Amino acid sequence: MSVYTPYIWMLLAVPVLAARGDVVRMVAAILHAGSVTPATVVLFSAVISFGATGLLGYLDWRKLRGVGVVRPFRWIWAFLPTVYVIGRTTAIRKVAPRRGLAPVWVLIASFLLIALYLNHVI
């Protein structure tokens, strides 16, 4: 039984992409928007992130049920990605001991990447 779905990895990428604001700039370029203010970038990044994490959490939950995880962590917590990743890992470790920790390590690494990016180190 594979405990890693593509959806958990995409869910983990959402906050990193949102912190950079690349998606919003790309959409603005496509729509030929004259100027994009920082407030607009933050607002659209938040809305896109909120919706994407919810959808990806639901797809991850559904996939885990499909591969035989009887009680996966509830998908609604995906709107709070940190809570979802930790809860998902706890639920997976109950049914598949010694597996399922990779998303937590990626979550920690993404926090570090975001902190470095926001402090203009990278």
Structural domain count of the chain:
1
Buried b (16+ CB within 10 A) or exposed e, 73-83: bebebbeebee
With respect to residue 84, please indicate whether it lies within any of the assigned structural domains: yes
Specify the amino acid at residue 103: P
With respect to residue 1, please indicate whether it lies within any of the assigned structural domains: no
pLDDT tens per residue across span 95-104: 888 888 999 9
Other Cβ atoms within 10 Å of 97 Cβ, number? 8
pLDDT tens per residue across span 8-54: 999 999 888 777 766 666 666 766 666 667 677 677 778 888 999 99
Residue among 105, 121, 116 at smallest CA distance from 19: 116
pLDDT tens per residue across span 48-81: 889 999 999 999 999 999 998 889 999 999 999 9
- pLDDT at position 22 is 67
**pTM (predicted TM-score):** 0.80
With respect to residue 51, please indicate whether it lies within any of the assigned structural domains: yes
